[in-house]
Copies of this chain bind each other. A is one copy, B any other.
Amino acid sequence: MHRVKVRVVEDALDANATIARANRDDFERAGVTVVNLMSAPGAGKTTLLERVLADGLGDLRVGVLEGDVQGSLDADRLARLHVPVVQLNTGEGFGGECHLDANMVRSALPALALDDLDLLIVENVGNLVCPAEFRIGEDARIMVSSVAEGDDKPLKYPLMFRACELVVVNKVDLLPHVDFDLPAFLHRLDAVHPGVAHLACSARTGEGVGAVREWLAALPERSRAPR
């Protein structure tokens, strides 16, 4: 049983990598830069996007792909911003619902006018484990960590903190009210992912969100640079 399971998992990850490459080819052809936005449930991904996209992102044409187990609450919130939003529900049944994979994203591409976008932000399912293992063809992964979750999280979910190019520490307005030691968090982050970029903000109050907006606005330019 165990060997069968391991082989199926390896096959699934291989298949995912193949489809992720196909997505990536499509994204490059359309000239769209893609961000995979990940976090635990309730860390503030949607609120951060509301803040970041409220006044647009310079000249960039932005679209959002909303991944949720069920419902369209987040897509409905973002649709008010007048950016194209496509909802993707991961549906019923274990194995298909706890993360977005390359195939789910691929199935949503026909609903997106990729040629009309410069930046596509994919909001993943709230989960600190499985999303880290499934590339979707993205250029960059952003991980949002709320100070309410505690400063031990990099040590407890190291794979997720390694699987990103930017860590956003959110809800800093709560710092006076929670036991969260920011230097200790950053020290632990550096231990599991040395040198990773990080920004601190409060999506609720807007503090620090400008730097997140700038990071995102500069991403298409950075992604086009030779690697």
Contacts and interface: CB of A to CB of B under 8 A. Distances in A.
Interface of A: 1, 4-6, 8-9, 11-13, 15, 40-43, 68-71, 73, 93-98, 125-130, 133, 146, 148-150, 152-153, 155-159, 171, 173-174, 177-179, 204
A130 B42 contact: no
**Which 5 A-B residue pairings sit nearest by Cβ, starting from the closest?**
A42-B149, A148-B148, A98-B129, A40-B41, A94-B133
Given A69-B157, A149-B42, A158-B70, A13 B94 contact: yes
Contact of A128 (B8, B41, B155, B204): B41
Nearest to A93: B9
A95 B157 contact: no
A25 B13 CA distance: 36
A177 B176 CA distance: 10
Contacts of A204: 178-179
A150 B73 CA distance: 12
A95 B9 contact: yes
Most buried by B among A4, A13, A15, A152: A152
Contacts of A71: 155-156
Contacts of A11: 1
B130 A98 contact: yes
B41 A156 contact: yes
A6 B93 contact: yes
A168 to B, nearest CB: 15
Nearest to A41: B40
Contacts of A159: 69
B152 A69 contact: no
A153 B97 contact: no
B148 A42 contact: yes
Most buried by B among A13, A41, A158: A41
Contact of A15 (B1, B128, B153, B156): B1
A69 B129 contact: yes
